Structure 1
């Protein structure tokens, strides 16, 4: 038995038997289910890919931030060392263990995961400079001749420069892996740490002056 649009289950003017109508409804439902299934799979894959990309971004960002802090600490320690070397102290009190710790930290960075070849080379060059400083610091138990002091100062200054360039290179890469809010918080933290460090050095200087007056 055929029946018209008013009786059919389809919303188009056709004449189908009940069996044909049911078959079409089933077919359309099956196609719809397949489309929904494919859409769900694509959506799930898209979410998984987004999570993977975000995890990789955070991993790169965390590693670069760690490297930035190491470079900053190397620069600060090198500057402290240079200040002592160029001072008039009878004894410089330059300790090698601070540089050894910095060398250990930078050597512990997995080079294979550094995303930039230039930065990888900077890490290696800075590490080599730190090892040289450690050797020289161990020999600086007492003041040396001006020529030797000049050579040592140039090595330390070069390592400091490498570290500062490293900070710049890391920052440029961080822009790729960070939002503007994240970068702003990073620099606020650096400013706060620098302020705390300057305050600590000022207190230590005051204590040193007070000790000299007492002596």
Structure 2
């Protein structure tokens, strides 16, 4: 049934039917007028000219439609490729943020080992890649806002990591126990900051994913 509807709505089919009807009407007119051989020759030539005109029109129309469809498909493919690239950068940012969360918040490691597992320059590079994202290519307002917020949270995360090894007032206290308690409270605050930033990064990444790849 769908195929029949498609053919019925096709300009090519409609045009062909019109040409057939027109030619039939002209032949019938010629028969009614009792044309001689010479007149029939001119009549057939006229019919051929009419058919050629209609054929050229519909052929050009069909080629134009196919060219337009090809251009749309190419544009959509180009846009899809750009969105894939943007999402890959956002995913890289999420992966680095979750690595920071695992290293600095979930495990107690020595400072040297911690920074051996974590490369500060990579997170800075991801932040630079986020800055380079062409926001006008995204298209959806929610995804643009989410990308901007994700970018900010990655930038905020960098000083939070640096804060783990910053000197505090606790370092000036002579009593070892008090110094350890205050230092522990300071590190807990640092971990909380990292947790909050990673939580927002994860949420904004999910918003971008839903906008770029909506579920059917």
TM-score interval w.r.t. the shorter chain? 0.5 to 0.7
1:69 matched to 2:88? The reply is yes
Structure 1, unaligned stretches of length 5 or more?
1-9, 176-215
> Residues of 1 paired with 2:42 and 2:165: CA distance?
95
State the partner residue of 1:170.
212
Higher gyration radius (CA): 2
In 1, are the aligned partners of 2:83 and 2:212 still within 8 Å (CA)?
yes
Asked if 1:28 corresponds to 2:47, the answer is yes
The answer to whether the Cα contact below 8 Å between 2:94 and 2:202 also exists between their aligned partners in 1 is: yes
For the pair 1:153 / 2:153, whether they are aligned, the reply is: no
Indicate yes or no: 2:72 matched with 1:53.
yes
Q: Which runs of 5+ in 2 are unaligned?
A: 1-26, 167-182
2:202 counterpart SS class:
helix
> What TM-score results when the alignment is normalised by the length of structure 2?
0.66
Structure with the larger helix share:
2
Q: Does residue 95 of structure 1 match 2:114? A: no
Cα distance in 2 between the residues matched to 1:125 and 1:45: 44
- Asked whether the 8 Å contact 2:146–2:208 carries over to 1, the reply is yes
* Secondary structure at 2:31 match in 1: coil
Moved more, 56-65 or 80-89: 56-65
Tell me by how many angstroms 1:80 deviates.
Answer: 1.0
Aligned pairs for 1:56-205 within 5 A: 56-86=75-105, 87-91=107-111, 92-93=114-115, 94-141=118-165, 145-172=187-214
Are the equivalent residues in 2 in contact too, given 1:133–1:155 (CA < 8 A)? Answer: yes
Q: In 1, distance between residues paired with 2:158 and 2:43?
A: 82
Shift of 1:138: 4.3
Normalised to the residue count of structure 1, the TM-score between the two structures is 0.66
